[in-house]
Amino acid sequence: MRIKVSLAQLQIQFGQPEQNLARAELMIQAAARQGSKVILLPELWTTGYDLAHSQQHADTNQKLQPILAALSSTHKIWIGGSLITRQDGKIFNTFFLHNPAGLEAACYSKLHLFGLMQEEQYFTPGAAPVSTPTPWGSTGLSICYDLRFADLFAAYALQGCPLVFLSAEWPVRRILHWDVLTQARAVEFQMFLTAVNAVGEIGNAVYGGRSVIVSPWGEVIARGSDRDEELVTAEIDLNEVERVRKHMPVLRDRRTDLFPDSL
């Protein structure tokens, strides 16, 4: 099955949800005109890392959810990206995926909190990986720092996911790691990885862009610039995952007898 995927590489306006929603709407409309079935938005795309105002932003983001659902329905496109959320009095960094029926198809809270940004002082970690059925097959969800933890992607591969979505704010100073890890995860777990990053100066940090779509062979199908806002779009053939996994059955050849604690 072939689908067209778009990545909305945004320069997030720090702590300004309304401005960021307006910009995202333009990207969603453009992706729909191009025939994309999915558009991904960066990590914390409505606010950036304005964590000092997490409680306020969680309230605002809750009110934005019906708007995102309506945009999915109007433009017949899946919309995914991460937001600051609150549940049972706790704050989370949560990836929401809305489907073209205008429904919330899945939500995933970031499992791995980034110590260098003191995320653990603001966020509660998620409880489990989340994959969800879609017309093109089961799809795994992930957020930024998760990229450094292969076990999460192994879990999705073992569930049979041909595709993982990743929403990020990855800084320019570590963009080499981004390039290497996005290709590595796609290659080692023989899946498509679609990874959207923010770009430009946001708050006190500069983000590196280079949003990317990588094939199970590790080929870069599309990549964004390292400094400009843009919509990165490409068509992918999900049948390639099955072909690659049959040709080189890496998951089957794992030595679980020697490494029983690994996924």
Residues 237/137, Cβ–Cβ less than 8 Å: no
Mean pLDDT of the chain: 96
Tens-digit pLDDT profile for residues 94-140: 999 999 999 999 999 999 999 988 999 999 999 999 999 999 999 99
Question: Would you please indicate which residues are annotated as catalytic (active-site) residues?
Answer: 43, 110, 144
Domain map (residue ranges) of the chain:
2-247
Confidence of residue 204 (pLDDT cuts 50, 70, 90): very high
**β-pair type (192-197, 163-168):** parallel
Burial 74-99 (b: 16+ CB within 10 A, else e): ebebbbbbbbbbbeeeebbbbbbbbb
| CATH for the stretch 2-247 | 3.60.110.10
Per residue in 142-192, pLDDT (tens digit) is: 999 999 999 999 999 999 999 999 999 999 999 999 999 999 999 999 999
3-state SS class at 193: strand
Dump pLDDT digits (tens) for 42-57: 999 999 999 999 999 9
Nearest-5° angle of CA 83, CA 165, CA 25?
50
Is the distance from CB of 73 to CB of 80 less than 8 angstroms?
no
